[in-house]
Every structure is written in C-alpha cells, then in structure tokens.
C-alpha cells in the first residue's frame, strides 16, 4: 500500500516543520508550499490525498486556493483542512463556503489535527 500524500501549505517555516514531522511520524508523505500559487500548482500536479491549508499566504490567500480547487471537477474531492490563526466566526463560515472540509485554528492541539487528517484521508 502506498503512503497517502498530504500537501501542507503554510508560510511559517517553524509551523511547516512541526506539522510535517508529526505527519511523517504517522506514515504520511508530505509535500509543502509556502505561498498560494505554489500550493495551487502542487495540488494540481502532485496527486495529493489531502491538503492542510493556511489562509494568510503570499501571492494568493487560502480561501482562493480552496475555492479554485473545490470548483474544479478534477480536484473537488480532495479534502481540505483550513489551518489558520483566524478565529472569527465569519472566517470559519467563509472557509466552509469556499469548500473546506474542516477548519482548525492555531495554536492547535496536534491530536485534533492528526485525528481530522486521519478521518478525512480515510474517507477519500
């Protein structure tokens, strides 16, 4: 059985490192992106099983990346976890409106994030 591949998108190096280590320790293959445009390109080119997507990114924000993927027949079934410091209810609502499958705020509980990853990746 091949490893499930996760695209981790965040412009904070420390966050990418911390989350990537946790995912790899659980047996996932992880590819990363630090801006919205690269995230979109990798999502379309890497054949990923799940995306963990920050909202506040250079070049293109996470809402736009999510919307572009979810409104594309070819990529709409890739689960997307919004992973952000934005905690306002309107941010969460907008996340779901553009197609996010889950919304997790930072600072985060690693077990909640890993549980949601496992739940969504097993559904896909």
**Neighbour-count burial of 116, counting CB atoms closer than 10 A to its CB (0-12 exposed, 13-18 middle, 19+ buried):** buried
Residue 65: per-residue pLDDT: 97
Query: Nearest 5°: CA angle at 6, between 15 and 75?
Result: 125
The answer on pLDDT for 30 being more than 80 is yes
Which residues lie below 8 Å from residue 69, measured CB to CB, with a gap of 6+?
Answer: 40, 43, 44, 51, 75, 76, 78, 80, 99
C-alpha to C-alpha distance for 26 and 11, rounded to whole angstroms: 23
Per-residue model confidence as pLDDT tens digits over 39-86: 999 999 999 999 999 999 999 999 999 999 999 999 999 999 999 998
Domain coordinates in residue numbering, the chain: 5-123
Span of 6-10, 49-53, 113-117, 120-124 with lowest mean pLDDT: 120-124
CATH of domain 5-123: 3.40.50.2300
Q: Are strands 50-53 and 5-9 parallel, antiparallel or unpaired?
A: parallel
Per-residue model confidence as pLDDT tens digits over 79-109: 999 999 988 999 999 999 999 999 999 999 9
The answer on pLDDT for 124 being more than 70 is no
Neighbours of 117 (CB within 10 A): 24
- Residue 1 pLDDT class (50, 70, 90 cuts): low
**Neighbour-count burial of 67, counting CB atoms closer than 10 A to its CB (0-12 exposed, 13-18 middle, 19+ buried):** middle
């Amino acid at each position: 059985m091949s490893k499930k591949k996760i695209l981790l998108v965040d412009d904070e190096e420390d966050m990418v490192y911390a989350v990537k280590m946790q995912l790899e320790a659980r047996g996932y293959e992880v590819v990363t992106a630090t801006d919205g445009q690269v995230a979109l390109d990798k999502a379309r080119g890497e054949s990923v099983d799940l995306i963990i997507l920050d909202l506040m990114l250079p070049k293109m924000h996470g809402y736009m990346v999510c919307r572009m993927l979810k409104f594309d027949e070819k990529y709409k079934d890739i689960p997307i976890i919004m992973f952000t410091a934005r905690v306002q209810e309107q941010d969460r609502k907008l996340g779901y409106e553009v197609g996010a499958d889950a919304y997790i705020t930072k600072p985060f509980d690693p077990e909640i994030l890993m549980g949601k990853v496992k739940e969504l990746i097993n559904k896909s």
